Amino acid sequence: MTHPSDAPSAGHEYTLGYLAEILGGELRGDASAVVQGLATLQSADATQASFLANPAYQKHLANCQAGVVLLREELSGQCPVNCILLHNPYAGYARLTQLFNSVSPCTPGIHPQAVIHPDARVSPNAQIDAFAVIEAGAEVGDGAVIGTHCHIGRNTIIGNGCRLFPNVTLYHDVVLGCEVTLHSSCVIGGDGFGFAPENGRWVKIAQLGGVIIGDRTEVGANTNIDRGALDDTVIGSDVIIDSQVQVAHNVRIGDGTAIAGCVGIAGSSSIGRHCLIGGSSNIAGHLSICDGVTLNMTTSVTGDIREPGHYSSGTGMSDMRTWRKNAVRFNQLDKLAKRVVKIEKSLSPAANKEKT
């Protein structure tokens, strides 16, 4: 059994001159030399490109044997091999990975076992894979790829260059901008969680809004974005959302925001632009988080955040025995604080009044 992950770069081969040109950087070295893959600074050999973006890895530069290294100009003197000078070598590395991408490009055509409603409009330049279903009124743009078993609901619109991996479900009345990527088993436009209580039962609130997603946004596997109740749920452009995320109805997420895995965002909350939401964080409903907020992993947000900055909640980990004792004390914390106040008062009755 051969190792398949050796295969992706097969067939890809680029001269350093070509790489410098498409990355927009200055090459120091042999323009005709060729690389066939990518690897880390420590492991790259002469047939592979590498990069240095994080200062923590600078120590590996002196012994690097890569065919070429992407780095900032000030480090070029310490580089023992060919290098390409870039202001943002990490973004350069990202572009390089795209050259070696193992995902197949769009191959226009409709698989004979796809089911497309006669009233759907599918670009002749789109690729529709086996067992995909496209309902009435839906549109699929140029260069879009609809993977196997995807469901595109009624009147849903998929912009140019979108890619839906297999088993994605888009309900009706969803709008994707251009170059949106949706990973497998994600669900866009499922019902928001809206029910009115009445005599011990729940009366379903039909969710009449849709979902609108901007350009170049990416949504991870098994992530949900629910449709709006009356108005739409709105996700901006250049938003990146990881796997296992729940985005409830009428949430709004601003351009450029990143949301890591397992995050839950409750209904009608609004997250600003260029926020970084750490993994497994939870945001309560009807809140507003301003632009430029970073949440540490597992942060629980229960009120508006009006100032950009870095926030956190929760406790540190410890061994079970220590934790148990401290957790018990947490549940007595208010009493403990009051006892301290009492002590302070007993020591200096007048001076400590303001500390209650």
Q: By CB under 8 A, what part of segment 69-88 binds a second copy?
A: 88
x-or-dash pattern for a second copy, window 15-44, by CB under 8 A?
-----------------------xxx----
Token pair recorded at residue 251? 């949430």
x-or-dash pattern for a second copy, window 148-177, by CB under 8 A?
xx-x--xxxx-------xxx-x-xxxxx--
Q: Which is nearer to a second copy, 30 or 296 (CB)?
A: 296
Q: By CB under 8 A, what part of segment 117-136 binds a second copy?
A: 129-131, 133
Number of amino acids touching a second copy (CB under 8 A): 153
Of 22, 31, 46, 115, which one interacts with a second copy (CB under 8 A)?
A: 115
Does 183 qualify as catalytic in the annotation?
no
Which one of the listed residues 249, 274, 286, 310 is annotated catalytic?
249
Angle between helices 16-23 and 89-99 (to 10 degrees): 120
CB atoms within 10 A of CB 150: 24
Distance of CA 322 to the CA centre of its chain: 36
Q: Does 326 bind a second copy (CB under 8 A)?
A: yes
Stretch binding a second copy (CB under 8 A), from 21-29, 68-76, 101-109, 120-128: 101-109
Q: Which residues neighbour 340 within 8 Å (Cβ) at sequence distance 6 or greater?
A: none
Of 258, 287, 290, 345, which one interacts with a second copy (CB under 8 A)?
A: 258
d(CA 280, CA 277): 9
d(CA 163, CA 161): 7
Q: Does 313 bind a second copy (CB under 8 A)?
A: yes
Of 47, 246, 290, 345, which one interacts with a second copy (CB under 8 A)?
A: 246
Amino acid sitting at position 262: C
Of 98, 107, 349, 350, which one interacts with a second copy (CB under 8 A)?
A: 98
Angle between helices 333-347 and 320-330 (to 10 degrees): 70
Q: Which is nearer to a second copy, 62 or 206 (CB)?
A: 206
DSSP string, 166-235: TT-EE-SSEEE-SS-EE-TT-EEEEPP--EEEETTEEEE------EEE-TT-EE-TT-EEEPPSSS-EEE
Of 110, 235, 262, 271, which one interacts with a second copy (CB under 8 A)?
A: 262
Q: Does 14 bind a second copy (CB under 8 A)?
A: no
List the catalytic residues.
Answer: 249
